[in-house]
Amino acid sequence: MKRGMFALAVLALFVGSAYAQGTIKIGGIWTLADITGKQGSAAAQLAVDEINAAGGVLGKKLELIVVDDEGKADKAAAAVEKLATVDKVDVFVGGMASGAELGKIPAFKKYNKVVMATGAAGSATVEKALGPSPESDFYFHLHPWDYNQGASYAEGWNAIQQKYPNIQIKKIFLAYEEGAFGKSSWDATKVLFGGDKRYTIDGASFKSALLGGGDYTAVLEAAKAFKPDLFIWAGYDADALPLLEQSKAMKFSPGIYLGAPPGWPIDFGASKLSPNVMLYGMWSTAMNNNNPSSAKFFKNYVAKYKEEPATYFAPLAYSAVYILADGIKAAGTTETTALVKALEATKYASPLGETITFKPSNIIKHQGITRQKILQWQNGEQQVIWPFEAATAAPVYPFPAWK
Amino acid sequence: MIVKRRVAIIAALSIAAMTALIVWKPTVLIYGLQAAGLYAAVAIPMGLVLGIVHIVNLAHGECMMLAAYAAYFGCKALGMDPLVAILPTAIVTAIFGWVVFQLTIRRALKAPELNQLILTFGLAIAFSQAINLIFTSQTYKMPLEYVSASMDIGDISFGVWSFVFVAVAIIFAYGLTFFLTKTMTGKAAVAVGQNPRGAAIVGIDVYRTYGLVFALALALVGAMGALFLTKSAIFPGVGSPFTMKSFCLIAMAGIGNIPGILGASVLLGVAENFLRAFRPTRDWAEIVFFVLIIVVILARSLKGRKS
């Protein structure tokens, strides 16, 4: 009898201790078949592991529960429901495609838990659906909106031309894929660069290899005839090398050759055609040299997963978890009102080379990063050209003629 | 006599049109032929299966995608060039084709056509999703210097590598014609294609012949998969657009008319590039594909009704 009582007491003590210990649950939603989701969720798990190894948050361990949204709005909405009701998560993190993010918003609003969004640039859809403060105050948008990105490119090129007088841009040609992404890039380019008549703009569409195309000869012929100083292509990673190969075959070498896909193919840097191609992005391995936070993230990621992060969505998701953890620590709770207030005071020195704070954007109250970077492939690595405070190399200009 | 005269008129008109294009817009003809070569080289194996096994393989493009992945990772592991990988990939995909035929398609040959379509559609989804699960949607492309080989004619510089697809399409078309008309196995395959019951009565193993034809088609698809690596990046969905294009080209050429696929591809490739060459019609290039198919099939139906 005594032995039984003792066993019960030990069990009660154990259970009680485990309950007190508890966990803070983070619901992560990504498209796992996509490299951005695969590496984004892996980087978020890395951040959770690091935080737990350092003692957790408020004496509790963090637990990341990941659900795949398959890039679809309906699956994304179901993922929010499942995480909120079955797993009973305290906060949400993740996201990439605007379409999938749009599907989550009604459910996010219903549960009113803090969301740290790592993707979704579509302001006309996602930001509009979120609506103004206070109804969207639970939503912290880390990734820049499309208009933030466009404005930062215009700012970047102006700054580069001022600092490097040998770089002069008068004519810009945009080769854009014929889908929604390309067309919105074309519309934004016309407004941002063609508005004040400083630049002469032209463009033509092409069918991306990702959507069954892959023949760029017509668009490159149009670009070559236009003789642009800055040639930009807005397509997908599947277009990157074939476009360059066809450009070389057609001996098309503009002053600046810039690609703006969401991600680059594996081993693009190893191609002999990659040197001096410019790109838009947020992070590169070159930043490890002048940013300790980036170096730490990179080292730990490679040690854990035995592969290099190939997309900026990895450091972005990693940052998202750290920002949430810091916010929960400061608030002392995961309760939404208190956590929102604590997160508004965020100053996080991120691996992305900037200190993240939250400011109002055009509609919502909590916008994190607003600037993209202008980078250039040099010796197989992406080097940051602009913003100058994060620069890792000077630009190579002009894009050399093909040999 | 009348037919010969009509053929001569069409040939003369085609030559005249080509000459005019060479003088006026040479790139239309150059890029049109290159595109035609790619379309035809992918479509011909599908035409073989449709002509003899009488099954629309909706997993045709996905089979090419699988071959391209196999060739890519083979090349990466062994440090090979994709051109060296053509033959090994063809052998592997031929074996794969034989196995797929015996395990799945053979079971559905006597089923209604809708069941056959659903089966191959299911295979297409299974293949692309399997690759998506294993390799994610990340794209892969082999950096190759020779694909940027260039030629100048006057002020025009253009790539010449894609002419390799023209050569491959011609080899496929005439190689298959030779196989089907001059070899015992080929003749048996034609017999099975025309009348399977009759072929079985004279002692031809119908299912073995079907399996061989399917394996041969997949060998050609495999070779194209390896060659396709030189031109394009690969990802799980890279093959599916070629299924529809291939089927439409076969419909234009007429089922069983393998050399006809060459002609249909040239018509399509040149028409597409003609529209792309002018700013107002640039975005119409995709529509021309469907317009041509409708016109050709409509014309054929009207002709059939008259006769």
User: Can you give the residue range of the structural domain that contains B113?
Assistant: 34-306
In a domain, B245, yes or no: yes
Contact B31 A33 (CB under 8 A): no
Give the pLDDT confidence score for residue A20 in this predicted structure: 41
Give the pLDDT confidence score for residue B307 in this predicted structure: 65
In a domain, B5, yes or no: no
Residue of B nearest to A402 (CA): B148
Average pLDDT of chain B?
Answer: 91
d(CA A125, CA B5): 61
For chain A, 403 residues long, the average pLDDT of each consecutive 10-residue run is: 54 44 92 85 98 96 94 93 97 92 96 96 91 96 91 92 95 89 82 82 90 88 94 91 94 94 81 93 92 96 92 95 98 97 97 95 96 94 93 93 83
B273 shares contact with chain A (CB less than 8 Å): yes
For residue B199, give the CATH number of its domain. 1.10.3470
ipTM: 0.85
Q: Judge whether residue B1 has pLDDT over 70.
A: no
Mutate to test the interface with B, among A31, A32, A239, A241 (most CBs of B within 10 A): A241
Residue A118 near residue A40, CB atoms below 8 Å: yes
Comparing CB atoms, the residue among A214, A217, A266 nearest residue B138 is A266
Count the domains in chain B: 1
A236 shares contact with chain B (CB less than 8 Å): yes
Choose from A352-356, B43-47, B290-294 the range with maximum mean pLDDT: B43-47
Report the relative pairing of strands A200-206 and A278-281 from DSSP bridges: unpaired
Q: Angle B240-B244-B249 (CA atoms, 0-180°, nearest 5)? A: 135
CATH (one of 3.40.50.300, 3.40.50.720, 3.90.1150.10, 3.40.50.2300) for A148-286+373-390: 3.40.50.2300
Other C-beta atoms closer than 10 Å to the C-beta of A131 total 14
pLDDT digits (tens, 9 = 90+) for B203-258: 999 999 999 999 999 999 999 999 999 999 999 999 999 998 899 899 888 888 99
In a domain, B164, yes or no: yes
pLDDT digits (tens, 9 = 90+) for B57-69: 999 999 999 999 9
Give the residue, B72 or A22, on which the prediction is more confident: B72
Name the minimum distance, in Å, from the CA of A204 to any CA of chain B. 8
Contact A212 B148 (CB under 8 A): no
Q: Which CATH superfamily is domain A22-145+290-356 in?
A: Response regulator (3.40.50.2300)
In a domain, B25, yes or no: no
Q: Judge whether residue B23 has pLDDT over 80.
A: no
Q: Judge whether residue B284 has pLDDT over 90.
A: no
In chain A, what are the domain boundaries? 22-145+290-356, 148-286+373-390
Residue B209 near residue B192, CB atoms below 8 Å: yes
In a domain, B135, yes or no: yes
- Mean pLDDT calculated for residue range B143-172: 93
In a domain, B27, yes or no: no
d(CA A87, CA A298): 30
Which residues fall within 8 angstroms of residue A185, CB to CB, at 6 or more apart?
A174, A176, A234, A260
A217 shares contact with chain B (CB less than 8 Å): yes
Q: Judge whether residue B138 has pLDDT over 90.
A: no
